[in-house]
Amino acid sequence: MTSDAARRASSLMHAPFLAAALVFVAVAGSEVDAAAPRIVNGVETQARPTTGALLSVNGSSFRQGCSGTLIGCETFLTAAHCVCPGDTTCTPDPAEFAVFLQHGGVFAAAAVAVHPGYDFGVQNDIAVVSLAAVTTGIPPTPLHTGADPSAGTAGEIAGYGVTSGSANDSGLLREGAILTASCGGVAPEPAHVCFEWEDPLGPVGADSGACFGDSGGPLLVDFGGGDEVTGVASGIQDGSCQPDNLAFYASVSEDATYIQSIGGADLSNTTCGALSQVGDVGTVVTTEQAISLSKDAQKCRKEIVKQSSNYVKKTFGLRQKCLDKVNKGTLTGPCPDLSTAAKLQKAIDKVDATKLAKRCTLALIAASDVAGGCAGAADANDLVTCILATGDTAVATMLDSEYADENPVGPITDADTNKCQAGIGKTMRKYALTRLKTLTKCQASQDKGKSEVCPDAKATQKLANALGKVEPGVEKSCADAQIASLDATGTFGGSCGGVTTTAGLASCSVVDHDAETDAVIGLLDDRVLPDSSSFVVPGGADSFRVTLNGIDGGSNDIDLYVKLGAPPSTTDFDFSSTSGGVFESVVVTAPTAGTWHVLVDDFSGTGVDFQLTMTTFSP
């Protein structure tokens, strides 16, 4: 490919590093159909200790622009276009850059060297950052110096970039699998190693691509002796970062001589420092992550709870209506009669696998935190099965606690007792459906990141109001004597067996209705994003590091607080890291043994997605 053609492709440098004179292909595209922010069709990871973020430094603030790889104890490999705002070489100021490693922290740059033959999209898109401090505890990833992999070779890519050309979600480390391919004239070979991702994308994490902010990140291939850095992310054919597309990575083999001339003997290190290394038994890693739901995952979850709630609402009403008619003597039991059964079948048919499949792809089902009766659901048909089973159990259990006789064959002859039984059902159904509606809305709000907890204050008040109406509602229709009479002739079920008073029935029936509405809502896991964690430091530990990285978003700022023995606050802590941006680190040597607690605080931004990595090293 000619130099001019190469420059029409997009580099993978992220926007914070762009100079005003640097022109990129227009970016447009939709988000990948995936459940959470990720390298294109990839997965979040905290298990790639040498994949780091190249940060821009502005005073005490850090912003992520590119990615890279630790290839020595003080040598970091990235792309030339990440440090040179143009197509040819420059003399970068190291003070403008830093490197973040999840198991290491933030390291200032001492020097930045750019390959003298750098020409974007043509050759040598390579830069080497020399760190101002030596990393310890992280074994470097070696360079591949043999022949480039042939087309069809399996590899892995990793980086801190965005999930699509239109996204603004850089800052999390993500990874995915690829198969190398011919560069097809998009970039010259052997100066580059390429791979494609085609429409439709395959399984999440098994068919991935790169996007802006992944520049400088590694293409890793295992040639039989473990992962080797085989390519350095350079550019993509189409700036949408969507399939069909092709990514080109600078060939490390072609540029190995230059990289070695800068890294020198440091590149021969297989371990760094005398302490235990990440991956050793003596190094304990504890991770936490708060990853919010994509819009597609929210739609999937909304469809699941919509269909399950509608099914419960419809079948609950139909079954109650049948029981009340039999008790009144206007319908011959048992229930359901033919008419009710036909209507129940229509309710079953409305739990629609086609609609569920449209909203919930296989990848989204796996990543939408289905739980309870739907745990393990693999497709839309499985979702239908679990929605129906959960709904049927919920309705049956609630009716059992409301109706002394769930299978009446004749009427309740005493008018007041009949009124009492119908009034109990009406009161409890209204309570259950109000609770279901309130929690459903609260859950949707939490999925969108608008509520940190569910129930929130608004939902809690609505639930309290609904609960406050239960006992008066039962007392309006019943006297204690009628409750005792009903239980004696038919026996209330569930938690209400043997109940003889209106207050007792109201209380026990609430217990059962709460449990069953929770089971319906529980088809989806609660989406509370953690902001705290803890880890145990054994006696004699050499050190620990707590690092934090999150969605940059251009204005997000999250801070880190650490305290021994009790949860910290923003004013009560033993150690803290409060740099501007979303990259923080606390390093403690010779720490006191015990349980250490960590707080992630949103200084700017709400519900910022993050990865928290706590690594304890032994001597």
Residues 6 or more apart from 228 whose CB is under 8 A from it? 141, 142, 143, 144, 220, 221, 222, 252
Domain covering 532-617 in this structure, CATH number: 2.60.120.380
Tell me what the mean pLDDT of segment 557-578 comes to. 97
What's the CA dihedral at 53, 58, 63, 69 to 10 degrees? -10
Residue 121 pLDDT > 90 = yes
Task: Report CA Rg, the chain.
Answer: 30
- The yes-or-no verdict on residue 529 having pLDDT over 70 is yes
Give the model's pLDDT for residue 35.
27
Q: What is the pLDDT of residue 279?
A: 96
Contact 497, 486 (CB under 8 A): no
Average pLDDT over residues 170-179: 96
Please tell me the predicted confidence (pLDDT) of residue 34. 27
Q: How far apart (Å, rounded) are the C-alpha atoms in residues 607 and 619?
A: 37
Q: Which residues pair with 615 in a beta bridge?
A: 285, 545
Which is nearest to 176 in space by CA: 199, 200, 195, 151? 195
> What is the reported pLDDT for 438?
97
Bridge-partner residues for 227, per DSSP?
Answer: 222
Give the residue extent of every domain in the chain.
3-19+26-267, 295-521, 532-617
> Does residue 2 surpass a pLDDT of 70?
no
Region 166-179 average pLDDT? 93
The amino acid at residue 38 is R
| pLDDT greater at residue 123 or residue 454 | 123
Mean pLDDT of the 18-46 span: 44
Residue 92 has pLDDT above 50, yes or no: yes
d(CA 231, CA 347): 56
Phi, psi dihedral angles at 589 (to 5 degrees): -95, 150
- Over the stretch 326-381, which tens digit does the pLDDT of each residue have? 999 999 989 999 999 999 999 999 999 999 999 998 778 877 889 999 998 989 99
Distances (CA, A) of 28 to 165, 220, 326: 6, 28, 62
Residue 9 — pLDDT band, cuts 50, 70, 90? low
What is the β-pairing status of strands 75-78 and 583-589?
A: unpaired
CATH 2.40.10.120 fits 3-19+26-267, yes or no: yes
- Comparing 209-223, 246-260, 385-399, 434-448, the range with the smallest average pLDDT is 434-448
Percent of the chain with pLDDT over 90: 79
| Measured distance CA(128)–CA(75) in Å, rounded | 7
The pLDDT assigned to 14 comes to 57
- Average pLDDT of span 293-311: 91
Angle at alpha carbon of residue 477, lines to 475 and 482, rounded to 5°: 85
